[in-house]
């Protein structure tokens, strides 16, 4: 389940493609380019012959700037991994993956070294699109137009902690719901939300308007520390669905304190971890470290 750390691992892997030129484009599953409104044919036509720039990321989105010797119109190749998306850099002769959706052939840098950039996605929640760029509504950074509304992510230098605190405390909802709202802060998903709330000793249903500034500070520090630690381990893998561009899984699952650990002891106090239904999925909490607030907001 790729969240910010997993996407960052993939971004770093894609940086090696900077300067390479796309020679061929095959869209095997039209749904995977559904965000490219002009359709799969236009997608392929606009990508072929373009030179890839260094990979960028905000939250869970990745993009590669596109140009060539004649054109620099600010177009980018924007991608989202969804639940099960993978970007793989493999030799062009490698067997086709069963859920291969989009295949980009790259011009060989030297004879005998033909590489593909492949987008593989079992559940097809992810996808690719060619888009223009525009200033972000939040910090003015130039980003792909479809994500101009997306909040700055907590590992970016332009992330404004005071603004985050103000915006969070003006919400009238539960704190986990707010953490998962990508327009408030991007990059945090269900796994790292639970981990950060546990570290900050906050219950997921704590009403945002009752949070004190110090608690928001604790929460933000926890979010950053959990994301950084996961990044240091190469991300979290529960199955073969999250891998880096070479197909390798991360190791952070071993370090998770609560997520997926129902009935196992809290690493801090030993109380068995509980799983609660939340937004049609699950929240994992330590009932002792994270007591349910008297007034709860889901």
Taking the C-alpha atoms of residue 63 and residue 128, their distance in angstroms, rounded to an integer, is: 9
| Ramachandran category for residue 14: left, alpha or beta (phi over 0 → left; psi -120 to 50 → alpha) | alpha
Minimum CB separation of residue 51 from DNA in Å reads: 27
- Check 50, 51, 56, 60 and give the catalytic one: 60
Taking the C-alpha atoms of residue 50 and residue 76, their distance in angstroms, rounded to an integer, is: 10
Answer for which of 24, 92, 173, 233 binds DNA (CB under 7 A) is 173
The answer to the question of residue 24 lying near DNA (CB under 7 A) is no
- Check 70, 254, 281, 294 and give the catalytic one: 281
Answer for which of 21, 23, 24, 124 binds DNA (CB under 7 A) is 124
Answer for which of 74, 82, 108, 217 binds DNA (CB under 7 A) is 82
Number of residues that bind DNA (CB under 7 A): 37
Instruction: Report strand pairing: 281-285 vs 274-278.
Output: antiparallel
Answer for which of 70, 254, 281, 294 binds DNA (CB under 7 A) is 281
∠ Cα 231 236 242 (to 5°): 110
Residue 65 CB partners (closer than 8 Å, separation 6+): 52, 53, 54, 56, 75, 76
Region near DNA per CB under 7 A, out of 38-46, 122-130, 216-224, 245-253 = 122-130
The yes-or-no answer on residue 135 being catalytic is: no
The yes-or-no answer on residue 176 being catalytic is: no
Query: Which one, 106 or 128, has the nearer CB to DNA?
Result: 128
The answer to the question of residue 28 lying near DNA (CB under 7 A) is no
3-class state of residue 83 by DSSP: coil
Answer for which of 59, 65, 79, 250 binds DNA (CB under 7 A) is 59
3-class state of residue 248 by DSSP: coil
The answer to the question of residue 1 lying near DNA (CB under 7 A) is yes
With beta carbons less than 8 A apart as the criterion, state whether 24 and 105 touch.
yes
With beta carbons less than 8 A apart as the criterion, state whether 175 and 216 touch.
no
Beta bridge partners of 126: none
Other residues' Cβ atoms within 10 Å of the Cβ of residue 227: 22
Beta bridge partners of 102: 27, 119
Query: Which one, 254 or 281, has the nearer CB to DNA?
Result: 281
Residues within window 86-115 making contact with DNA, judged by CB under 7 A: 98-99
Region near DNA per CB under 7 A, out of 58-66, 106-114, 130-138, 227-235 = 58-66
Residue 86 CB partners (closer than 8 Å, separation 6+): 10, 118, 119, 120, 121, 241, 242, 243, 247
Minimum CB separation of residue 251 from DNA in Å reads: 17
The answer to the question of residue 83 lying near DNA (CB under 7 A) is yes
Answer for which of 51, 56, 60, 118 binds DNA (CB under 7 A) is 60
Residues binding DNA (CB under 7 A): 1-3, 31, 59-61, 80, 82-83, 98-99, 122-125, 146, 171-174, 177, 180, 182, 186, 189-191, 239, 259, 275, 279-282, 297-298
């Amino acid at each position: 389940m790729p969240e910010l750390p997993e996407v960052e691992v993939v971004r770093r892997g894609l940086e090696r493609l900077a300067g390479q030129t796309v020679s061929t484009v095959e869209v095997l599953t039209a749904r995977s380019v559904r965000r490219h409104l002009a359709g799969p044919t236009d997608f392929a036509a606009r990508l072929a012959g373009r030179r890839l720039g260094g990979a960028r990321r905000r939250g869970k989105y990745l993009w590669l700037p596109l140009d060539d010797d004649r054109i620099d119109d600010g177009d980018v190749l924007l991608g989202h991994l969804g639940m099960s998306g993978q970007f793989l850099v493999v030799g062009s002769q490698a067997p086709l993956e069963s859920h291969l959706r989009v295949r980009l052939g790259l011009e060989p840098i030297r004879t005998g070294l033909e590489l593909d950039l492949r987008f593989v996605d079992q559940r097809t929640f992810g996808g690719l699109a060619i888009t223009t760029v525009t200033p972000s509504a939040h910090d003015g950074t130039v980003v792909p137009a479809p994500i101009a509304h997306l909040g700055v992510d907590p590992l970016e230098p332009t992330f404004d902690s005071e603004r985050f605190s103000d915006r969070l405390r003006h919400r009238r909802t539960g704190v986990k719901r707010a953490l998962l709202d990508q327009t408030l802060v991007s990059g945090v998903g269900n796994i790292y939300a639970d981990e950060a709330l546990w570290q900050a000793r906050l219950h997921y249903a704590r009403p945002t308007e009752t949070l004190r500034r110090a608690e928001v500070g604790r929460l933000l520090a926890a979010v950053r520390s959990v994301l950084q630690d996961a990044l240091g381990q190469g991300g979290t893998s529960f199955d073969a669905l999250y891998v880096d561009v070479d197909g390798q899984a991360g190791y952070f699952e071993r370090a998770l304190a609560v997520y997926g650990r129902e009935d196992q002891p809290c690493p801090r106090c030993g109380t068995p971890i509980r799983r609660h239904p939340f937004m049609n999925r699950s929240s994992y909490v330590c009932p002792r470290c994270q007591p349910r607030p008297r007034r709860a907001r889901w």
